[in-house]
Structure 1
């Protein structure tokens, strides 16, 4: 039985030749992501802003103005309404209720649910969540701290595991992936809650796994071909690991797309973040992180004259098998 190969044998793509375009695109996307994030802001979930979130499912897409009137009439504070994915599912946000205990929260949920059921026959309560203001501030601090420590820890690992250039290129690529995720959530206005922080940390973990594989092959080839030009070493290393990179990304994306379409709207933001992270992480591993090593001055044999261009037509055959 013939094995499925998404990348043909003896692939020899000159990735480094496109590094100028890749750096320009990366910078442009990063600036746009930062701009969109500051302009639109993140739609922070109840986890981060505190308050009460009620999710209601209607028999048909409701009139948001009418829903707001019904909820505001309950005297629970100004309501914020949001729909995404299924237009029949509506998220209702309310300020933290007086007392903020379970009894007050349950009473508010029952009051809103009963009023909506009466005004919109067929409406059903789905779920609710509540977080106090103090807890939300702690969650914001801990979430930001977790992401920052993860990035710094990964950068330090790459520096001690390889050389300082690998650590810098890894941090740059991960920050790029993180900015793309923030820009995506600012643009789509999906809820940004603790589930998304978990998705961001997962994206960072996937990205570093992909980058470490490529970096390890680059270091291995630097030792194997000590007088080869650094451009050729990077192209050789990326092409050798390309089948693994593509196969891993495709299989993960298949599972994520199934979760996106079949997992329900509750997981839609988490899944969308993961899909974006896999695509952006694969791009940054191939075009940003590896090519940036040249700009940072990494050399196989510092001080030696670079040899002529090496023919890599048989690179896949002469390279060691991936472990």
Structure 2
């Protein structure tokens, strides 16, 4: 965001039997102002509208004028008694850049630590397969947030970091089973060992994910605002995590060990 972002959530309350305002009605009332975007949060009597208006952020009088223009336009449409300004924030470009930079640093640091942990516990190729899988999950979540035009905030970053930790757990469980199967199974290729290990663990992966999704969906259904967005991003990340554990990590590991032979385990452990 290159300019100051004015986030002004306004709640439009029901007056008598008059229905609550819709997001289209709010947008229509502000159509005469430039650079305005409107997003509805919550449902029913808990509905609120987040209104964003860009300005250069250098002149306080301009910011106040912009805020008054929004309030007056809404008052003319819905009446002053039906409008409540919950909060007004002015966020500058430095804050936005700091959030983006901090998010990138946090994600990269997390990936690096996970890579170190996986390399110590397994071999480098399996560690890299696990890291590629969680990078895939993080990118899927960022793409979802961008596609749905959801607000990118610290809540979103928290959801991404949560899924990175959740997804690596699934992958590590499969890698542990591979290590055990290499010792006890007389299979000639690493692909066969991976297929066997996935078959043994697939029910555990699906049941665990579905159980966790039930809790996440309850958050999505019974909460509003940023918590609702957090739950939605988590759900997308969990589904992506199942896919990446089975297909992304597995495909890369099999590619790295395409020439693997059981005799190799005499020289090294997994």
Please, what TM-score do these two structures have when normalized by structure 2? 0.79
Deviation at 1:146, TM superposition (A): 0.8
Deviation at 1:183, TM superposition (A): 1.9
Query: Which of 24, 30, 53 is residue 67 of structure 1 equivalent to?
Result: 30
Q: Hey, what does 1:236 align to over in structure 2? A: 196
Q: Name the SS of the counterpart of 1:253 in structure 2.
A: helix
> Do the aligned residues in 2 keep the contact of 1:51 with 1:93 (CA within 8 Å)?
yes
Matched, 1:81 2:37: yes
Aligned partners of 2:134 and 2:176: how far apart in 1?
Answer: 17
Aligned partners of 1:173 and 1:292: how far apart in 2?
Answer: 9
Deviation at 1:303, TM superposition (A): 5.5
**Unaligned 5+ runs, structure 2:** 13-19, 266-270
Matched, 1:196 2:175: no
Deviation at 1:268, TM superposition (A): 3.0
Q: Hey, what does 1:116 align to over in structure 2? A: 74
Please, what TM-score do these two structures have when normalized by structure 1? 0.67
**Unaligned 5+ runs, structure 1:** 1-43, 73-77, 305-323
Q: 1:238 to 1:227 in 2, by over 3 A?
A: closer
Query: Which of 244, 256, 263 is residue 296 of structure 1 equivalent to?
Result: 256
Matched, 1:57 2:11: yes
Aligned partners of 1:152 and 1:279: how far apart in 2?
Answer: 23
Deviation at 1:292, TM superposition (A): 2.4
| Residues 1-323 of structure 1: pairs in structure 2 closer than 5 A | 50-58=4-12, 59-61=20-22, 62-69=25-32, 72=33, 78-84=34-40, 89-94=48-53, 95=55, 97-98=57-58, 112-113=70-71, 116-121=74-79, 122-225=82-185, 227-297=187-257, 299=260, 301-302=262-263
Aligned partners of 2:133 and 2:112: how far apart in 1?
Answer: 13
